[in-house]
Amino acid sequence: MAAPPYDAVVVGAGHNGLVCACYLAARRLKVCVLERRAVVGGAAVTEEFHPGFRNSTASYTVSLLHPKVIRDLRLAEHGLRIVERPFANFLPLPDGGGIRVGGGIEATQREVARFSPRDAERLPEYYRRLDAVAEVLRELLLQTPPNAGGGIAELVPMWKSARALRRLPLASQRDVLDLFTISAGEWLDRWFQSGPIKACFGFDSVVGNFASPYAPGTAYVLLHHVFGEVNGRKGAWGHAIGGMGAITQAMRKEAEARGVEIRTGVPVERILAREGRARGVALSDGTEIAARCVVSNAHPRWLLDALADFPGEWREAFANYRSESATFRMNVALAELPDFAALPGRAPADHHRSGIIMAPSLAFMDRAHASAMERGWSEEPIVEMLIPSTVDDSLAPAGKHVASLFCQHFRYALPGGRSWDAERERAADAVVDHVTRFAPNFRSAVLGRRILSPLDLEREFGLVGGDIFHGKLSLNQLFSARPALGYGNYRMPLEGLYLCGSGAHPGGGVTGIPGHNAAREASRSL
Ligand SMILES: Cc1cc2nc3c(=O)[nH]c(=O)nc-3n(C[C@H](O)[C@H](O)[C@H](O)COP(=O)(O)OP(=O)(O)OC[C@H]3O[C@@H](n4cnc5c(N)ncnc54)[C@H](O)[C@@H]3O)c2cc1C
């Protein structure tokens, strides 16, 4: 029998699919990447959404991309430039005040002291303790989690994982336990008194996480957002010049330089299985492509369809995999910058270059969750706005701007049989109204908009249930249990089938890590 033409076929050219392909090719393996959309990058793409206006379509800000991936894939040499936000967040308040966080510890302490001198004093210790736990997470990122049911072979990865924990002082070990289990609200209430600082930090706990910040488990989601860095500055977030697509276009260049074949506009329908092993894929037009192994960058639940004829206990676990982040995403083209009541001015200023959080308290976030539970989404949603055109003139015509609006607590399934196709515009209007409460010129500045409801995120990017992270970051879906216990080591139920997307450890975000780790496991077997 002739040898298959490829060592590996990667299903999906999301950033993790591209990273995985690059590492496989580095081991002299022949790799083909098949992408359903017309453009590579998955949820990390830059597209024109209004004539003359371009922006990141889905993911919009960078921090979690692993420095090893940036280095190994020569992303800077391929033109990637990331600039840090001048400060992390600006949180305007409804009464016209506001708080800025970031830009150095002294600057943040000065801001926080306006609300609570005690909170300002506690701030350095808060950062130190949070970073100590983030460091544990960082150590685990590039590891393959020990696999449940893997027997004695799993002792080494288990020992490696425990090593990071054992080195911590007892107080930090307690923090680890808390941050993996309790609510962000409880964690922040222990540290701080003032509402605005708790809201600023607590926002991360509901990003892509349909929950009240007082729900157990939300502290972990907060932690997940601080393990990254920008240009060596730990915990910082930044703008990719050219939008998030600049990251994946740089990855594409490296993949092509390594000889990877990338085909776009090619939906894969099935994974071919014979004698208990993956043998390649079948496209929706019936074409079959043989390979020694298959690596899926798609959402874990896609495997249920792609392996419809492959029974086993895995099917129940994958069917139960929870996937709904309740996220609504808009891009708007703007005639002018928002003029915030809290910091008046239409000329570009540092607060326009930071992440602007329009959710003034944890109680506000809790209410947004409660009303979404009841009505599908809240008229007063949680919105973060980023205006990348303030640091990047390639995105909008001179003097004009583009803004990313990232909105939480919009359910995938609306109650009462309502449909997103009928409701998309009304929800978008509510988001615009909400921003206008903080910046009165906002509504009239909007020249055009692109709306992505949770249903649109599923249709456009294959994000099942509209989940931005390919599945909830809950304790029962993390580490060895991501996507399901027994499949935490990137190896899927069928021999020769691997998962390299955000549904694998360490989960969602533009990290490149699942792709990096899955390539190691796949090439080991090959
Ligand atoms: C609205 C939104 C905002 C976000 N904001 C941020 C952010 O600011 N910062 C951040 O770090 N993260 C953010 N995220 C999360 C982050 O973007 C994702 O976790 C990450 O991009 C997922 O990458 P991936 O490669 O694992 O999968 P994806 O990007 O989902 O890529 C999977 C690819 O597989 C393709 N595919 C699926 N099925 C098939 C098939 N059958 N045949 C062929 N191709 C297929 C898809 O088209 C897609 O291109 C955001 C996500 C969303 C949706």
HEC readout, 45-87: CEEEEECCEEEECCCCCECCCCHHHHHHCCCCCCCCCEEECCC
- Expressed in angstroms and rounded, the spacing between residue 132 Cα and the centre of ligand 1 is 29
Structure tokens at 71: 């280095």
The backbone torsions φ and ψ at residue 477, rounded to the nearest 5 degrees and listed phi first, read -135, 35
Span from the CA of 461 to the centroid of ligand 1 (angstroms): 7
* 65 CA closest ligand 1 atom index: 11
pLDDT of 165 higher than 90: no
Please provide the average confidence, as pLDDT, over all residues in the chain.
96
| Distant-in-sequence, close-in-space partners of 148: CB < 8 Å, separation ≥ 6 | 480, 481, 485, 486, 488
What sign does the CA torsion over 255, 261, 265, 266 have?
Answer: negative
Q: Rounded to the nearest whole angstrom, what is the distance from the C-alpha of residue 456 to the centroid of ligand 1? A: 13
What mean pLDDT do residues 496-519 have?
Answer: 98
Give the DSSP letter string of 247-285.
Answer: HHHHHHHHHHHTT-EEE-S--EEEEEEETTEEEEEEETT
pLDDT in tens, 55-92: 999 999 999 999 999 999 999 999 999 999 999 999 99
The string of DSSP codes covering 461-511 is: H--GGG-TTSS---GGGSGGGSSSTT-TTSB-SSBTEEE-STTSTT-SSS-
For residue 507, the ligand 1 atom closest to its alpha carbon is 19
Each residue's pLDDT tens digit, 478-487 = 999 999 999 9
- Residue to mutate, 468, 497, 500, ligand 1, most ligand atoms under 8 Å from C-beta: 468
Separation of CA 65 and ligand 1 centre (Å): 13
**Closest to 46 measured CA to CA, from 91, 11, 79, 88:** 79
**Percentage with pLDDT > 90 across the chain:** 94
- DSSP type of residue 286: S
pLDDT digits (tens, 9 = 90+) for 333-351: 999 999 999 999 999 999 9
pLDDT at 139: 92
pLDDT at 518 over 80: yes
Position 156 confidence tier, pLDDT thresholds 50, 70, 90: low
The neighbouring-strand residues paired with 328 are: 407
* 340 in Cβ contact with 439 (< 8 Å): yes
Distance between Cα 42 and ligand 1 center (Å) = 4
Rounded distance, CA 306 to CA 278, Å?
Answer: 11
Atom of ligand 1 nearest to the CA of 466: 53
Question: Which atom of ligand 1 lies closest to the CA of 327?
Answer: 1
CA of 457 to the centre of ligand 1 (A): 9
**Nearest Cα residue to atom 27 of ligand 1:** 14
202 alpha carbon – ligand 1 mean position (Å): 24
Q: What is the mean pLDDT of residues 285-296?
A: 97
Mutational test site, ligand 1, from 473, 510, 513, 516, max ligand atoms within 8 Å of CB: 510
Which residue has its alpha carbon closest to ligand 1 atom 35? 12
Listed residue (473, 524, 20, 9) closest to 217, CA to CA: 473
Which of 32, 244, 297, 387 maximizes ligand 1 atoms within 8 Å of its Cβ, making it the mutation to test the pocket? 297
Residue with tokens 């009541």: 341
Residue 477 CB partners (closer than 8 Å, separation 6+): 321, 322, 471, 483, 484, 507
Q: How many Å is the Cα radius of gyration of the chain?
A: 22
Q: Compute the distance from residue 197 Cα to the ligand 1 centre, in Å.
A: 30
Bridge partners of 343? none
Give 26-52 pLDDT, tens digit per residue.
999 999 999 999 999 999 999 999 999
- The residue whose CA has the least distance to atom 31 of ligand 1 is 14
Task: Decide: 245 and 16 in contact? Cβ < 8 Å.
Answer: no
Q: What is the pLDDT of residue 149?
A: 77
Is 46:54 a contact under the CB 8 Å cutoff? yes
What pLDDT, on the 0 to 100 scale, is given for residue 452? 98
Q: Is the backbone peptide bond immediately before 506 cis, with ω within 30 degrees of 0?
A: yes
Residue by residue, DSSP assigns 345-373 as -SS--GGGGSEEEE---HHHHHHHHHHHH
Report the separation in Å between the CA atom of 14 and the middle of ligand 1, taken as the mean of its atom positions.
6
Cα 82 to ligand 1 centroid, rounded to whole Å: 19
| pLDDT for 190 | 97
Mapped to the 3 state alphabet, what secondary structure does 377-444 carry? EEEEEEEEEECHHHCCCCCCCCCCEEEEEEEEEECCCCHHHCCHHHHHHHHHHHHHHHHHHHCCCHHH
Residue located nearest, by CA, to atom 1 of ligand 1: 58
Write the secondary structure of 101-146 as one string of H (helix), E (strand) and C (coil): ECCCHHHHHHHHHCCCHHHHHHHHHHHHHHHHHHHHHHHHHCCCCC
Q: Whose CA is nearest to atom 50 of ligand 1?
A: 59
The pLDDT value given to residue 1: 63
Protein residue whose Cα sits closest to atom 14 of ligand 1: 59
Residue 96: what pLDDT? 87
Average the pLDDT over 249-276 and give the result: 97
Residue 485 burial class via C-beta count within 10 angstroms: exposed 0-12, middle 13-18, buried 19 and up = middle
360 close to 213: Cβ distance less than 8 angstroms: no
Q: Atom 29 of ligand 1 has which residue's CA nearest to it?
A: 42
Contacting residues for 28 by C-beta, under 8 A, at least 6 apart: none
Which residue ranges have their beta carbon within 6 Å of ligand 1? 11-17, 34-37, 42-44, 58-61, 64, 267-268, 297-298, 302, 327, 329, 406, 457, 461-463, 468-470, 501-502, 508-510
d(CA 497, CA 493): 7
Please check whether residue 113 is in contact with residue 106, taking contact to mean a CB–CB distance below 8 angstroms. Answer: no
pLDDT band for 150, please (50, 70, 90 cuts).
confident
From the CA of 15, how far away is ligand 1's center (Å)? Answer: 7
Span from the CA of 43 to the centroid of ligand 1 (angstroms): 3
502, 511, 516: residue to mutate for ligand 1 pocket, most atoms within 8 A of CB: 502
The CA-atom distances, in angstroms, between 361 and each of 36, 88, 91, 434 are: 40, 17, 10, 15
Res 140 pLDDT > 80: yes
Spacing, Cα 349 to ligand 1 middle (Å): 31
Of ligand 1's listed atoms, the one at least distance from the Cα of 41 is 49
Ligand 1 centre to CA of 320 (Å) is 21
